[in-house]
Structure 1
Amino acid sequence: MFPPTSLLTTLLLALSIAASPVEVRNSPVTLPIVRKLNVSDGTINLLKRDKSYVVAIQERSFSALDRRDDSVPVTNDAAVGSYIVQVGIGRPATTYNLVVDTSSSNTWIGASTPYVKTSTSVNTGQLVSFGYGSGAFFGTEYTDAFTLSDGLIITDQSIGVSSPSMAFGFAGVDGILGLGPVALTEGTLNNQPVTQIPTVTENLYNQNIISQNVVGISFDPITSLTGTNGELTFGGTNPAKYTGSIAYTPITATFPATFYAGINGSITYGTTTLLSAAGIVNTRTALIYVATDVFTEYQSATCSTLDEATGLLRITSTQYSALKNLNFEIGSSTYALTPNGQIWPRSLNTYIGGSSSAIYLIINDIGLPSGQGIDFILGYTFLERFYSVFDTTNSRVGFATTKYTNATTN
């Protein structure tokens, strides 16, 4: 933890009590992230995993209605096609590789590396579980020291402790780092259906390690199997990772998107409006998902065909030349996904089960018609073009352009 008398901490605390929402820049909790693609995990499997998680988001939201009676190194793990963060738990710390998930909030371990108990480990005696569509875990709640970087330790952090036999769909990783709203933890302690569990970000804030409950996320496009391509920043943003200023929009009131990093927005292809509705921002899904009727319109407008080998839309070089921007109008700003930003990196085609000469689109079908309350999901292929900020303190989500927004790397 940073000394409370340090100049930086004093400045951040002063900013946090300002009368209007402020942006904390140069957060002290910022470290690089790395992404790698597992060549043994084909796109069709990634698509199936993505879609099963999309279904879980939708089903979890409806069950929620029933219940109403700083930065760390990250890699894109092959086994699940998601970004992975390394953390330490216990003192001395054991290192665990956790999936970064903004659409769930429980943090848990044990899918691969066994939990090593130390003097800081406390068994609360509570059973904890959660389902993700593409996987699930069952285990026991502990509190323990939680290390994000050298010398940066959260005390008494709640974690779920599972085992390989009780964690399903997480081969190759150790568990989840839940960065979503704390309300998503409600009901995960099996005998306490209305209890909420403080998240890692909340405890960073509550223990005065960061001055605001904010996470900034930077993902850069990647065209090779491995490479450093971004960062997580807890407590603020890193101006070096974006251009211009961050534009914020309030969390939507639309159910069920309001349970997540939900936003209102419109989607246009060229000048044709395809959708005006609520959706969510999600680091866990790879692709961009839109409601079925919108997907059909997009497919027609791009003259694309469904590729059986990958499950993605495929276009010809001539059709690529005719592609128009896919615009996301969020708040008062428009974020244009260029033609190059709408396609999977061609240098990685063979690693996802596709043809090296093909052009695949990253827009896919959410599986339900529009009007369901989550009509689009912006996965990490969107976030690789735009910097994102999840600001729980002020109930808002922010975006900014980056030097890769108009890149032609794909």
Structure 2
Amino acid sequence: MKGLTCRLSLVVLWLAAKCWGYFPVCEERFVSTNDSYKVSTFEKLVDTAESSNTLGSGKQSVTAASSSSPYNATNQNNNTLGVSLKPGVSMLQTDSSGLAYFVNVTVGNDVFPLLIDTGSAYLWVYGSDCNASACSGKELFSTSFVEKEQSTFALQYSSGVASGDVYEDRIIVNKLATTENFTFGVADEVPSTFANYPISGVFGLPSNNSENIQSIISALRDSNAISIEKFSIYLGNLNTSNFTDSSSTEYQTAMVNKGIFAIGNEINELYTGELYYNKLLSNENHYWSLGINNIYIDSYAVNFTNYENYTGTHSHTKRSSIVDSGTTLLILPKQDALDVHSFFESSVTDGTNFAILCNSTQNITFDFGSKNWTLSPSSYLGSAYPESSTYDGYCVSNIQGLEINEAWILGNVFLENVYSVFDVENQKLGFAEKNSNAVIMPYSDSASVSTASGTQPTSEIATTTSSSRSSSSSSSRSTSSGLAADLRPGGITLGLSMVLSFFL
């Protein structure tokens, strides 16, 4: 965009209604008693199951289904293995609720906690001119000594607009640096609901570059910081027993780590067995979109009421999906959500929110073609309704039905169950079983960095500083980021800001 003489306006459309925050307990997620109705009884469950297609014969366990050929590497990482925090690898953090994952990113000379968002195409930060409540007590980017582009951006969220000017500077993430002319947004308007979260912007990770916006992964390749356009995400705490210097900043971060964000090739120590790749569905919005061949409740395939125009054909069993680390829950079109919950005994709904008996033992399985991946009740069940509630004995469902387009949104409820590898170059997305024995290892600057990791083996990458710009000012970070536990909103959905267009 550099060198443009006419002013541009970047408009990003928000594609889905949002229930902000973290599950599982909030008034927004509770089923409304006045409007509720029963989705299923046990008798209906049996009738529906018998009339549905089954996986294999009889009541064969869905987890025993056969798989097609995986990626040609197999890990047998059943022992404790160290994951070095070398260039390209960093720890993820969350707030006290543990469901909005962010990484520390250097923009210019200062560090900002940015939401890891595979449902967004754009990187933007809170600016020092922002007077919105969401910017209070957060790290703010000063634009005093940075080159301004002749363009603006605006992202429409359900709760308001994030907007501002476009600037360029160097970005450093995971000790990897772009050139000094990477373009990003600096917001002077931020929706008030962002105030609930300890972030200072969004780190967009699209599946490819859009016509007018270069992704951060592509920019790192252009700066020779990485040799392959690929990144991976492991959500969940890792062991930190190898950290002994309790006075170091790295030690403090390690103690509260919530996973790993790696740029470059997959980290073998983070998964076991085989890595199964799936080709992305073509889409103009650069989502990480996958086809789902079937959805099973235990061993029974769901035959949906509505058909989806799936890659040009009408299907009542196949669904398209968007894998989005900026969303907490599983977000489905309303009728699809009703169809799924009809398999759960005595489940109830008010049309948007659902409640499932807390003693549910059924599994939900996704057939992506390369392998089936299963969610157990611990993933799809939220907190229990209080004993004083009409729905004592029920739990909040982490599957929500909203007025969205056909594609399902697979948020962190799904991603927390797998190790995910996002391959930009080959337009595919891989999943593997997480290695629960992985241990984070401190990184020594004197250690060599192998090109096998997909990062360049130069130590200069980790020490590169910003362009000739003085240190940007920032306000102190708030220590309180969440709402009261009994009012906590029902699922952060910051992603999917992906439909991009420029207007002269």
TM-score with structure 1 setting the length:
0.67
Unaligned 5+ segments in structure 1 are 1-37, 49-69, 187-194, 405-410
**1:196-345 equivalence runs, <5 A:** 196-220=212-236, 227-253=256-282, 259-265=286-292, 266-274=294-302, 275-306=317-348, 311-317=353-359, 320=360, 323-344=361-382
CA contact 1:214–1:389 (8 Å) conserved in 2 = yes
1:245 maps to a residue whose letter is E
For each residue in 1:162-196, what CA deviation from the matched residue of structure 2 results, as whole angstroms up to 9, or x when unmatched? 12x4555322421111011345xx5xxxxxxxx51
**TM-superposition CA deviations, 1:319-377 (whole Å, max 9, x none):** x2xx322111112211122233332367xx89xx9999753332222435xxx541x22
1:261 deviates by: 0.4
Quick check: 1:73 aligned with 2:87?
Answer: no
What is the match of residue 205 of structure 2?
A: 179
* Distance in 2 (alpha carbons) for counterparts of 1:170 and 1:80: 16
Superposition pairs of residues 75-114 of structure 1, within 5 angstroms: 75-77=93-95, 82-90=100-108, 93-110=109-126, 112=135, 113-114=139-140
Aligned to 1:382: 414
- 1:129 paired with 2:154, answer yes
Q: 1:304 to 1:366 in 2, by over 3 A?
A: farther
Task: Give secondary structure in 2 for the equivalent of 1:209.
Answer: coil
1:278–1:354 Cα change, 3 Å = farther
Task: Give the Cα–Cα distance (whole angstroms) in 1 for the partners of residues 301 and 344 of structure 2.
Answer: 14
In structure 1, C-alpha distance between the alignment counterparts of 2:99 and 2:161, rounded to whole Å = 16
* Cα distance change of structure 1 residues 333 and 208 upon mapping to structure 2, 3 Å threshold: same
Question: What is the CA-CA distance between 1:244 and the residue it aligns to?
Answer: 1.0
8 Å contact 1:243–1:403 — kept in the other structure?
yes
Question: Separation in 2 of the partners of 1:285 and 1:379?
Answer: 5
Tell me which residue corresponds to 1:20.
none
Rg larger in structure: 2
Quick one: which amino acid aligns to residue 207 of structure 2?
A: P
SS at match of 1:169: helix
| Kept in 2: contact 1:137–1:168 (CA 8 A) | no
Is contact 1:281-1:378 (8 Å) kept? yes
> 8 Å contact 1:41–1:78 — kept in the other structure?
no
State the secondary structure of the residue aligned to 2:194: coil
Q: Which residue of 2 aligns with 1:365?
A: 401
Q: How many residues align?
A: 314
1:46–1:80 CA contact under 8 A, matched in 2: no
Give % identity: 22
Secondary structure of the corresponding residue to residue 258 of structure 2:
strand
C-alpha distance in 1 between matches for 2:419 and 2:29? 23
Name the CA distance, whole Å, in 2 between partners of 1:336 and 1:75. Answer: 25
1:382 aligned partner, one-letter code: F
- 1:116 matches 2:142: yes
C-alpha distance in 1, partners of 2:193/2:22?
A: 18
Partner of 2:249: none
Question: Which structure 2 segments of 5+ residues have no match?
Answer: 1-20, 32-87, 127-133, 239-254, 303-316, 437-504
AA aligned to 2:376 is T
Q: Cα deviations across residues 285-305 of structure 1 (Å, max 9, x unaligned)?
A: 111123333322222211243
The structure in which a higher percent of residues are helix is 1
Cα offset, 1:221, TM superposition: 7.4
8 Å contact from structure 2 (residues 358, 393) kept in 1: no
Higher relative contact order (CA 8 A, sep 6+): 2
User: RMSD of the alignment, in Å?
Assistant: 3.5
